Structures are given as C-alpha cells and as structure tokens.
Amino acid sequence: MPENVELSSKDSRDQNKLIHQLEQQLSIITRLLYTTSVSGVELDRSVL
C-alpha cells in the first residue's frame, strides 16, 4: 500500500509541474496577443 501513496505523490508533483508550465505558456501567449508591437509573424512563431 505505501507504494501507491508514493506513486500518487509523484503523480501529483508531475501534475503540478505540468500545470505550472501551462500557466506560464498561457501568460506569455496572452502578453503577446495584447502587445500591439508584436508582428503577426513573431506571434505565429511563438504560439505555433
């Protein structure tokens, strides 16, 4: 049973790390979308 707890804890850490990375990426994309000085080409390159 303790093995399951360790796996759950690791899964939770992995999930939290992924969520943090996605939040950072969304923040960058949002800033790019609302910054008028960013060209369409640069926006495409950053988002895609």
**Distances from the Cα of 48 to the Cα of 3, 38, 44, 45, angstroms:** 39, 15, 6, 6
Report pLDDT for 2. 53
**What does the pLDDT look like over 18-48, one tens digit per residue?**
999 999 999 988 888 888 888 888 888 887 7
What is the pLDDT averaged over residues 9-16?
Answer: 90
Give the per-residue pLDDT at 23: 97
Burial of 21 (0-12, 13-18, 19+ CB in 10 A): exposed
Give yes or no for residue 7 having a pLDDT over 80.
Answer: no
- Least confident range from 1-5, 14-18, 34-38: namely 1-5
Structure-token pair, residue 48: 């895609």
